[in-house]
Amino acid sequence: MIAELLKLAGSIAAILFIAWLARYWKLGGDVRIRSEEQAREIAQETLCGFDPVEIALDKAGMAALMRDANDRHLLVRRHGVQWAGRLLDHHNEARLDQNFLTVGTGEKTFGSVTLNLGAQASHWAAGLRHLNIGRPHA
């Protein structure tokens, strides 16, 4: 019985130590896009040479939509504690619902992203519709 209690106490101590260590090293945490400058850095890391001229940040900081001077659109979203991004083309789907813009890339592994863009949502929805002008018909 005492051996069982010692094992339990040792396990709890080990778990608490690992939790403390993770906190000390600042592992995990709340990853969000907090500024346009941070969004620019993420864009550069995601797609080399992508220099945004217009940036829309999700109000929760979970995603961003960016446009460069060549009218290419980059969608960036949180993927765990990292960032994942996709260059949007005529395969994208955009659905506007008041201040929310849902963007689908047509890629199952990336999924769709809903951004709360406030009053900017309709502007970005219109910009994404222009990507679909040359869309091939099924």
Query: What pLDDT score was predicted for residue 138?
Result: 44
How confident is the model over 77-109, as pLDDT tens digits?
988 778 999 998 877 888 999 999 999 888 888
Query: What pLDDT score was predicted for residue 93?
Result: 86
Distance, in Å, from the CA atom of 9 to the CA atom of 15, rounded to the nearest integer, reads 10
Distance, in Å, from the CA atom of 100 to the CA atom of 79, rounded to the nearest integer, reads 20
Model confidence at 137, pLDDT cuts 50, 70, 90, reads very low
112 within 8 A of 93, measured Cβ to Cβ: yes
Query: What pLDDT score was predicted for residue 135?
Result: 47
Model confidence at 132, pLDDT cuts 50, 70, 90, reads low
Distance, in Å, from the CA atom of 6 to the CA atom of 129, rounded to the nearest integer, reads 64
Model confidence at 53, pLDDT cuts 50, 70, 90, reads very high
pTM metric for this prediction: 0.74
